[in-house]
Chain A
Amino acid sequence: MSAPGRSDAVIAGRLPLNHRSGLFGAGLLVAGLVLTWVSLMRLDASAGFIKYILVAVALGAVFQGLKLVSKWIFGPLFDLGLWLSALWISLLVLIAVFADLLPLRESRDVSQALQAPIRQRPNLFSSHPLGTDAQGLDILGGLVYGARVSLIVGFGAVLIGITVGLTVGLAAGYYRGKLESAVSFLTDSMLAFPPLILLLAMVAVLSPTVANVTVALAVISVPTYIRLARANTLAFAQREFVLSARLLGERNPAIISRELLPNVLLPVVSFSFVIIAVFIVTEASLSFLGLSISRPNPTWGNMIAAGETRLNDHPHAVAVPGVALFLTVFSFNRIGDRARKMWDPREAKL
């Protein structure tokens, strides 16, 4: 395949060096995949930690190989990490939306899972691909329904936070005066209150439903959003395009929504990706502590809590939701970083 491959590369104007590193990447990718398969499928539990180290090395090789191949195909600026992050988040959103249509085994109702084996090890070709927990509930199913909770709480809380924070922050930053003093006083007092204690107090008083946890997290985020929106509004409101809109007779609400909002929205949205990640971890921590949605309704946090007692001999019950949590938070942070670089005027200005 080298001859046509080379001419293709020349036509596309790429350097032969990329061509060589692309082939090397393809080799690395294949080797990594083989190693993954061997270490996962052919080594049994007696291999112990060596198995996990091999899996980690193999996945590293797969990633590096994929990176080289993708740069070979899509050009040197291709950011594989970002695309994998976007892929993971999209996948998560899809399975969370269509969870009820997926052919999953019972993961929520113990009475329906009496026949199922308990603490089964993950086996991709069985009916429980990621194994079962102590009650015989399907871990893949738990992961899917847990994703639904995590995403609803993360996105929901941030959406409420943005809506309230932007409205109040824009108004305070534009109208100034007494409104601004009052808003500043309120946000400062809310920020002075330890967020964890406020959160624990709220979830302890309210019943632990998805809606209540979402609202509690939104309350925590609102003062930060207000400050962010207000600070950006202050900076933009002094600029001449706002003055000229006012001179053309635009009314204040129109100036806020047409001139200021689109400018203030960008930094707020790029900041929000990071906040979503933080909230997903926070929700998982709360449900790990039993303060959020509780068993048998699965969330990533309470799955970790339920598997924790047998961590030594059945690590998969903790590892699966743990890895999902890690990947999700990592992906949101990665996307958030990129969004900030693109949209935040301070970072985007060359």
Chain B
Amino acid sequence: MSESTNPSPPLLRVRNLSTGFETPRGLLWAVDGVSFDLDQGRTMGVVGESGSGKSVLVRTVMNLLAANAVVPDDGEVLFRGRNVRDLDAIEERHFWGTEMAMVFQDPMTSLNPVKRIGRQLTESIRFHLGLDDDAATERALELMNQVGIPEPKKRLRQYPHELSGGMRQRVVIAIALSCSPKLLIADEPTTALDVTVQRQILDLLGRIQRETDMAMILITHDLGVVASYTDEIAVMYGGQIVEHAATSDLFEDLAHPYTEALLASIPRIDLPSHARLQAIGGRPPDMVAPPPGCRFAPRCAYRTDECEAAIPELISVADRMHTCRCIRPLVSHRDVAEAVVAPNRPGSS
């Protein structure tokens, strides 16, 4: 681990990571063989519908799983060259917060309703940085300014219910940033907020990410959200990454039929009102007994019998950085190889 052939190993390297849960019906693979690298200062978006394994993936990366979770040993999460799964309890405690931190989905429930904001904000500062009360409060005020909370002195003495949803999420972000993590994971940070506040929170996360040069993983089910805030995007379906590319490449040359369907299902403001919304037909795969071949095949408009034979490998399309798990990717680059077949429009039996 110490001597590496690569001059600068990525901040986070995930290799063949799987996570299963014991359920009454059998083992459910929520995450199935995921690999990716993330460099310092980069923002990766993870997109997928509910149940596609996004949250479980990042919880596995942070080693924050419930007791009934199963993670096979061949899966690796290397953070700065160190396997996160090998940390002992005390190392882990100092790892969370200072190395990786997380912003949760719903600021209405993530804060303790009976503790003042100040106490909750300084808790981890005092624990990790060992500051005394005055210094911790000083740092808390600084953080609150950084995340754009007006009248920080007054807010310190308030309780969560006295703050709006957007302000609460800013507090949560300040808590996550309090010990300068190298990697910030934001698990649908704006889902519980209304649209105008969503924009402010995403702008804030983007600004802080640039200022501190930390890496960020932004989880969302909204492709529109990630488009302007990420450097690269991983699209997940059925626990697997089905397409992974730089953000601009993904939108220009999307390769996987699922990505296309996901983009088509975003409501468009230029369509006449009451126009029918595009939805992806069928249901997400049953992860206790997933389909034998491509996970998306049963719902795919371009399905052939070949699709159901075996799980497609993640292959490079267009360029080396753009990978896609489909035997007939939709890329427009004709020179990529024989794998690229002109897509049949739906209706071809």
Contacts and interface: CB of A to CB of B under 8 A. Distances in A.
B38 to A, nearest CB: 22
Interface stretch (B104-112, B133-141, B231-239): B104-112
Contact of A243 (B64, B115, B175): B64
B161 A263 contact: no
B189 to A, nearest CB: 12
B111 A248 contact: no
B114 A239 contact: no
Contacts, number: 38
B84 to A, nearest CB: 14
A240 B62 CA distance: 14
B104 A240 contact: yes
A241 B120 contact: yes
Contacts of A345: 113
Contacts of B36: none
A263 B112 contact: yes
Given A248-B93, A249-B93, A239 B124 contact: no
B10 to A, nearest CB: 25
A348 interface: yes
Contacts of A348: 161
A247 interface: yes
B96 A263 contact: no
A128 to B, nearest CB: 50
Q: Which of A241, A247, A263, A349 has the largest number of chain B CB atoms within 10 A?
A: A241
Contacts of A248: 93, 97, 123-124, 127
B93 A263 contact: no
B219 to A, nearest CB: 15
A240 B112 CA distance: 8
B110 A240 contact: yes
B90 to A, nearest CB: 8
A214 B115 CA distance: 35
Contacts of A266: 114
B185 to A, nearest CB: 13
Given A248-B124, A248-B127, A239 B93 contact: no
Contacts of B90: 249
A248 B109 CA distance: 19
Contacts of A4: none
Size band of the interface chain B makes with A:
10 to 19
Contacts of B114: 262-263, 266
B109 A240 contact: yes
Interface string B60-78: 0000100000000000000
B112 A259 contact: yes
A345 B108 CA distance: 12
Nearest to B103: A240
Contacts of B161: 348-349
Bin the interface of chain A by size: 10 to 19
Interface string B134-174: 00000000000000000000000000010000000000000
Contacts of B96: 247
A244 to B, nearest CB: 8
A241 B93 contact: no
A349 B96 CA distance: 31
Interface string B77-113: 0000000000000100100110000001000011111
Contacts of A247: 64, 93, 96-97
Residue among A239, A266, A348 with the highest chain B CB neighbour number at 10 A: A239
B64 A263 contact: no
Contacts of B113: 263, 345
Contacts of B120: 241
Contacts of B110: 239-241
Nearest to A345: B113
Nearest to B108: A349
Interface string A221-255: 00000000000000000011101100111000000
A244 B161 CA distance: 19
Interface string B112-135: 111100001001100100000000
Interface string A249-288: 1000000000100110010000000000000000000000
Contacts of B175: 244
A349 B109 CA distance: 12
Nearest to B128: A248
Nearest to B62: A247
B192 to A, nearest CB: 12
B68 to A, nearest CB: 12
Nearest to A349: B161
Nearest to B110: A240
Nearest to A249: B93
Contact of A241 (B97, B111, B127): B111
B130 to A, nearest CB: 13
Nearest to B92: A247
A247 B65 CA distance: 12
Chain A to chain B: the 4 pairs with minimum beta-carbon distance, closest first: A240-B110, A241-B112, A262-B114, A240-B104
26 contacts: A239-B109, A239-B110, A240-B104, A240-B109, A240-B110, A241-B120, A243-B64, A244-B123, A244-B175, A247-B64, A247-B96, A247-B97, A248-B93, A248-B97, A248-B123, A248-B124, A248-B127, A249-B90, A249-B93, A259-B112, A262-B114, A262-B115, A263-B113, A263-B114, A266-B114, A349-B161
Given A248-B127, A259-B112, 18 more contacts: A239-B112, A240-B104, A240-B110, A240-B111, A241-B110, A241-B111, A241-B120, A244-B124, A244-B175, A248-B93, A248-B97, A248-B123, A248-B124, A249-B93, A266-B114, A345-B113, A348-B161, A349-B161
